[in-house]
Structure 1
């Protein structure tokens, strides 16, 4: 726990050019607003328990509610792990937003549909790699992957070569995407046959970055 007297010195003021971003939430943990404080604004907040913000547009310190009467009283304050942001819990009097809403984050944004979401993680390749490994170690007569391993190196390498060519000769964008997915699958089969994990490929690529 940090003593309030030590907080001013613990914050990395230089990182924010003399300002620290503050996330303000109410006692029910709903986020109300995002603002900024300089050292003086924070010091006045700690002493009075009334929230003081630093206005970047007006270049001055202002007390929340000084005109509207929608005051914020400090109940709890937490410093983040990098010492460059604060989370403040307040008792909110009236709406927090100058537009009259409870929170400044009241306008909901519609996200893309789940089926249109792009997954940039490695997880889908890991899942496929694990399935291929399982079919290699525990053959299933109904599995195409198990069939490839049964046929051996020549068949596995030939199929990968065929799929690579299919990518190059694909007649349109949709077909090239389809054939690329096939090629990646067969590449993972080649790697599995050779006892190479895809993580080793990623490690090699990472090592090539300057």
Structure 2
């Protein structure tokens, strides 16, 4: 923990100079999830399009305006934790793919698509309201989603990423049963970008590498993804 705090300053300074990011790739095997923890006073469930729209209109479903219309897609899910006060936490899931826009970190230029097997879902846009933090809602939501997606969609894996300096998110995912599958780096100078990616393992099937300062994508083949570049 101390070493990460010491390295955080030069890491952030580097990000101010060039597009650079180091992210942990985290994976949850749904077969290891036996039950969803109960959190008193909260109900956890999948939100419909109309419910999500109402929560967004009231300002409770944050950062989700562009996602709500896509709930009609059979691959897009939103799970929420509700109390008498309303929506207190939520998480979004997309089956088979982490689209570039779903995997954006400190620098939009380093947003990277991750291709997943058809029986995996990417977890993104996870949020808990400040007043509801520290009560175990994140593990409860992710466990619920893992069980529900497995039961209804035969999704056996959940995949997510988090920046290496985001200790709070890492702790939450680990409490939910996620384990680290590797760390990948994305960086660029001008119109050129490079990436180093961990060896491909189920359910991750490939990465699509961004180009810094431009809107184009170069698919990283298995050989390059395995060896790094």
**TM-score, structure 2 length as denominator?**
0.22
Of the two, which has the highest radius of gyration?
1
Which structure dedicates a bigger proportion of its chain to strand? 2
**TM-score, structure 1 length as denominator?**
0.23
Which structure dedicates a bigger proportion of its chain to helix? 1
Instruction: Specify which structure has the bigger relative contact order, considering alpha-carbon pairs within 8 angstroms and separated by 6 or more residues.
Output: 2
